Structure 1
């Protein structure tokens, strides 16, 4: 029997993960990660400072506050209440881990990337930095053998050690979001739900009377609780209000409109451009230096190449096959192509797709696959 620290979000996946760990004979410690952002509907939970056993972490209170809108995120106080209730039903200890300082790093990255004209992915960064970062620090503090989550991905044994693979449910696969985990940590990870499809997980939750069987999946950025992401950026960086406004131009430099801030746009965007071109136009690139948003027709949105940096490899990069598959957005499909890793600097790599791809967005992750196996990935320049 192993001691396992489980990230519990209050959703059906992590709740069933707790059951599967217990069923396998493991000792399970449930952890709810509090990010402490001061916005409507996020984790404003109270703590019981008298309940300080097991490394001194506070037990969550029963706050029932909800989100300020209808977005389905994670980390709300109602999520905390759901997670605590499931943990009590399972008879496992449950604690809150205060990660406000760590989470501020995620928020700063999100804001700064938009101000650089990039398209950030804070949920992927959260997995790398917090869920499989700080949780390992906590696990070490309580002598836990493993860290587990409810992600739809699988760990497969090999002669070289565990490999990260896609989840069995291809519609819910979350392996893309886990590419940045340190290879040395795969040995201490558990992904209990990765070998199930979503309907089976909901059926297990229903049969156990967990009360979360039909709960919707979290699909929104948890700290942007209302409005457009650009409103959040301006609220966090009030000095940029008005300073990022500029022109909307075509690829040949013709000015066709103006915008109130380039942080409101992403590569591939069509709706909300505020200009009438007669034919569909899309954001092709964003130029922070000139504060211009460059638009063009669909044909100008495709490309065959990308470069990526801040690479993380789960295998020896020298052993990566020349022909691989590359996924360039969370909900996208992997596409065949060739990869070249810089022999002098494995932090960078280049990709050439076998066929042109649409909306290769700087700031998004390019994740490399060999079949179902995640080889690694990096961030598109």
Structure 2
């Protein structure tokens, strides 16, 4: 399928976010073929990628900038490489601070919200452009004045989840030409168009984490690992560890605890004490979670404050039916079938069928009976006073921390 020029006004001027990869290259080619006036923009993040690693990343390196510039030149499109080092520095700081707090960050969703669909729109305004086009695999349309954002046709490549935090106003100015295409078709178009990026490998890593070694990045940013103990859900000490930053919720391997018939997973991280809690598969499931900074897309909040939808809790999660109860700018999500590894710091995306209607950031999750995971909420409450919605989580987490500390002290 070729980009349908009838979807958008071909007379409008657009900024194309060009990463130097095949997807954004094909977007530029499709839009040029449709008659749009274009400006290609490449985002410089200021991260130096070691020689030999650039080919593995396919995003933001010097070689990527060269590829983007040459593709734009071949298409006759004006091109600019924009220095966004300061903006990226804020995302890197968010990434680092998340690990400090025992959370697992989602930098791609933050980048989409703050850079690709915010900062680039500011630049589009400066250039007199109507909007921004990207190579995301998602479908977008305006229906009765509201944004309808759907999963990409290629479900393996679908990137709608990573757009849950982007405002509807910004999405209304976004063009996603690849949403109706599957990846092989995109590569075929690139080859037919003679684009130098046709065979370029896809990005597999976070753009500012060379070799996918986030621990090295934390060390470079001066983060001292928080040692502590690994305990089971009964509080028994299993072993010591070198840093809580090395663990994430749902982790099954690498925790160094064996000898159990049942597989053990990381079910809780208590940053204040450096405690890692292991449990079985059922103890890693969550019946409920609290989601902060809720963003709705294309719908208004239901009159009764309740939405029934499928909730996706990480990038490759298929989604779970749930009841979403809104409270101010947060929501309490109760799952029909408790999923594994609901992870504070990750995003939760709300879907009605294949349509993304909103989402937010996972703050805490209720796991096994009598335990509330939410050390971040507890730490925040200690500084600013817990809200009514988080008092229970704060008190239960404090009790969990105290029990773990006492157990560790006895072990010494």
TM-score normalized with structure 2 length? 0.82
What secondary structure, in the 3-state scheme, does the structure 2 residue paired with 1:350 have?
Answer: strand
* Aligned residues of 2:306 and 2:325 also touching (Cα < 8 A): no
Moved over 4 A (4+): none
* Cα distance in 2 for residues equivalent to 1:266 and 1:108: 19
Question: What corresponds to 1:194 in structure 2?
Answer: 179
Out of 187, 193, 196, the position equivalent to 1:208 is: 193
* Cα distance in 1 for residues equivalent to 2:67 and 2:58: 14
Out of 298, 301, 314, the position equivalent to 2:281 is: 298
* Aligned residues of 1:329 and 1:366 also touching (Cα < 8 A): yes
* Cα distance in 2 for residues equivalent to 1:355 and 1:147: 38
* Aligned residues of 2:58 and 2:201 also touching (Cα < 8 A): no
Question: What corresponds to 1:14 in structure 2?
Answer: 24
Question: What corresponds to 2:59 in structure 1?
Answer: 74
Question: What corresponds to 1:318 in structure 2?
Answer: 302
Out of 155, 164, 168, the position equivalent to 1:179 is: 164
CA-to-partner distance for each residue in 1:264-293, whole Å, 9 max, x for gaps?
A: 100001111122232321111100111111
Could you tell me how far 1:227 is from its partner in structure 2?
A: 6.0
The answer for unaligned runs of 5 or more in structure 2 is: 1-10, 364-412
CA-to-partner distance for each residue in 1:281-339, whole Å, 9 max, x for gaps?
A: 11111001111111111121111211100111112123687321110001111221111
* Cα distance in 2 for residues equivalent to 1:29 and 1:5: 5
Flag the 1:87–1:227 CA change in 2: closer, same or farther, 3 A: closer
* Aligned residues of 2:21 and 2:58 also touching (Cα < 8 A): no
* Cα distance in 2 for residues equivalent to 1:161 and 1:332: 27
Out of 355, 358, 366, the position equivalent to 2:340 is: 358
Could you tell me how far 1:73 is from its partner in structure 2?
A: 4.9
Question: What corresponds to 2:14 in structure 1?
Answer: 4
The answer to whether the aligner puts 1:221 opposite 2:206 as a matched pair is yes
What secondary structure, in the 3-state scheme, does the structure 1 residue paired with 2:208 have?
Answer: coil
What secondary structure, in the 3-state scheme, does the structure 2 residue paired with 1:193 have?
Answer: coil
Question: What corresponds to 1:46 in structure 2?
Answer: none
CA-to-partner distance for each residue in 1:73-103, whole Å, 9 max, x for gaps?
A: 5211111111111111111011111000000
* Cα distance in 2 for residues equivalent to 1:284 and 1:369: 26
Question: What corresponds to 2:7 in structure 1?
Answer: none
Out of 229, 232, 240, the position equivalent to 1:258 is: 240
* Aligned residues of 1:121 and 1:364 also touching (Cα < 8 A): yes
* Cα distance in 1 for residues equivalent to 2:207 and 2:221: 15
Instruction: Output aligned runs, 1:126-165, within 5 Å.
Output: 126-165=111-150
* Aligned residues of 1:66 and 1:76 also touching (Cα < 8 A): no
* Cα distance in 1 for residues equivalent to 2:63 and 2:163: 26
The answer to whether the aligner puts 1:331 opposite 2:340 as a matched pair is no
* Cα distance in 2 for residues equivalent to 1:20 and 1:177: 23
Flag the 1:109–1:22 CA change in 2: closer, same or farther, 3 A: same
What secondary structure, in the 3-state scheme, does the structure 1 residue paired with 2:333 have?
Answer: strand
CA-to-partner distance for each residue in 1:136-163, whole Å, 9 max, x for gaps?
A: 1100101101111000111123113231
The answer to whether the aligner puts 1:377 opposite 2:359 as a matched pair is yes
* Greater helix fraction, Structure 1 or Structure 2: 2
The answer to whether the aligner puts 1:85 opposite 2:70 as a matched pair is yes
Instruction: Output aligned runs, 1:230-269, within 5 Å.
Output: 230-238=215-223, 240-241=224-225, 244-269=226-251
Could you tell me how far 1:230 is from its partner in structure 2?
A: 2.1
* Aligned residues of 1:5 and 1:30 also touching (Cα < 8 A): yes
* Aligned residues of 1:154 and 1:191 also touching (Cα < 8 A): yes
What secondary structure, in the 3-state scheme, does the structure 2 residue paired with 1:118 have?
Answer: coil
CA-to-partner distance for each residue in 1:336-372, whole Å, 9 max, x for gaps?
A: 1111111xx1x10011111110000111100001112
What secondary structure, in the 3-state scheme, does the structure 2 residue paired with 1:331 have?
Answer: coil
* Cα distance in 2 for residues equivalent to 1:227 and 1:176: 21
Question: What corresponds to 1:98 in structure 2?
Answer: 83
What secondary structure, in the 3-state scheme, does the structure 1 residue paired with 2:73 have?
Answer: helix
Question: What corresponds to 2:400 in structure 1?
Answer: none
CA-to-partner distance for each residue in 1:40-62, whole Å, 9 max, x for gaps?
A: 33xxxxxxxxxxxxxxxxxxxxx
